[in-house]
Chains A and B, each alone.
Chain A
Amino acid sequence: MAKRTIIPFGPQHPVLPEPIHLDLVLEDEKVVEAIPSIGFIHRGLEKLVEKNEWPEMVYVIERVCGICSFGHGWGYCKSIEGNLGVEVPPRAEYLRTIWHELGRIHSHLLWLGLLADGFGFESLFMHTWRLRETILDIFEETTGGRVIFSVCKVGGLRKDVSNEKLAEIAGTLDGLEKELRELTQVFLDDVSVANRLVGVGTLTQDEAIALGAVGPTARGSGVNNDVRLDGHGAYGQLDFEPCLEEAGDCYARCKVRIRELFQSIGLIKQAAAQIPDGDIAIEIKGKHPAGEYVGRMEQPRGEAYYYSKGSGQKFLERIRVRTPTNANIPALVKTLQGCDFADVPMLVLTIDPCISCTER
């Protein structure tokens, strides 16, 4: 019988941008069990709802994550807007959609870079992040921030973007798309990349459903769970199909994210062409949230939900955010069982873990 060894993985590890700890139980080189533990970067952001009034709380919720920050701000606003029963002007919904999709491109490019770095392809990592800069520059030009934007507020937006600027962004994305086609071909066709990804960490469709996987992790296994299909924001007016792959391995998850890059570029171009003129925010005065509401968002990593409970006061009673990595950890533990020890970094990376989100 093979000897059992327990190897600690993380919280500090070269492939982990954020701390998560896994106790890997090995039999020779095979992982037989993985026990995750989190709690290294809990910041108590939800608790801050007791000392920040609900209009200012959006700046705190945006800081749940530094990569999908716009989406978190939007999700919180959506939850409060639902609670108050207010409608956001259509132009604000379109601009929110554009920024959110730009955030998706930036998040997926960041992840592709980390993946390339994870399997030791340094030049691919550098070029991926070089292209990501284009998106960060667009953010800085339109919002004033590169990572945290602070443009979303309950009832609409704080900043408008001119139609000329939107046309310019669409032009920039045309150039980016051309370079991305060239770059992503390496992820899809290169033999050394395929050796690390194809057939590794397969999650079947049934397992993905049973374990409640979300986002590209589930879509790589053929589960159609794209929350954008419910038509929130401007998604109802835009034409798109969710990117699904059937294989369920690391390569399929990578492919889903690559296809989503081009899908997001297409969505931004459509939204920039269709955006209506008008106000970007409505004024909310003398009203406070009283009741419960749950808003759902499709973040780059998957479905996130935002629960808010108010009592008609300036301070909310409760905010609860469930983030996609939280939902994907059971799927990660499942795929780790039976994999080679050398594949563990790839498996951890392909759920695109965002531990700051998970712990808040």
Chain B
Amino acid sequence: MANLKIGKMVLRSLFKRPATLMYPTVPREWKELTRGRIEIDIDSCIFCGICARKCPTDAIAVDRNAKSWSIARMGCVQCSCCVEACPKSCLLNKAGYTSPDTEKVVDTFVKPEAEPGSVVDS
């Protein structure tokens, strides 16, 4: 009887849409709340360093003098602790995970003096 049951289930799934996605050709559908990666609106940042102090993995580094904010992408665990702690609400979660890489990526954002925010990769 049990063999009949699994047989039925297997046969049914033959005529259904596959349960898996054809990664990476079919893009993944993100949920509204998905915590993918941390992004910063560098223009609003005041470089107070609270995010760096709160980060449980020390993935964030803030340099007040150089006006730079950097995040070690492979070190970040997407707990959103920094997002909640930010007094200026300039940190946010975005959908989409950090891409796999052969190196430990550090993204550095520098606040320009007069011009709008720019991104400098290191």
Contact surface of A with B, Cβ cutoff 8 Å: 48, 52, 56-57, 59-60, 63, 123-124, 127, 130, 133, 137, 140-145, 148, 150, 158-159, 182-183, 185-186, 188-191, 193
Contacts and interface: CB of A to CB of B under 8 A. Distances in A.
A190 B7 CA distance: 12
Given A150-B79, A158-B84, A140 B34 contact: yes
Contacts, number: 72
Contacts of A52: 56
Interface in B1-35: 1-3, 5-6, 8-10, 13, 19, 31-35
B98 to A, nearest CB: 15
B6 A123 contact: yes
B19 A142 contact: no
19 contacts: A48-B56, A52-B56, A59-B79, A59-B81, A123-B10, A127-B9, A127-B13, A137-B31, A141-B33, A144-B80, A144-B93, A145-B78, A148-B77, A148-B79, A150-B35, A158-B80, A182-B8, A182-B9, A185-B5
Contacts of B56: 48, 52, 56-57, 59-60
Interface in B36-66: 54, 56
B102 to A, nearest CB: 23
Size bracket, chain B contacts: 20 to 34
A56 B79 CA distance: 10
Contacts of A189: 1-2, 5
A158 B33 CA distance: 12
Interface of B: 1-3, 5-6, 8-10, 13, 19, 31-35, 54, 56, 77-81, 84, 93
A148 B10 CA distance: 31
A206 B90 CA distance: 59
A143 B10 contact: no
B73 to A, nearest CB: 17
Given A141-B31, A142-B33, A145-B78, A56 B54 contact: yes
Q: Which 8 A-B pairs have the closest CB atoms?
A: A144-B33, A189-B2, A190-B2, A59-B79, A144-B35, A150-B79, A59-B56, A130-B19
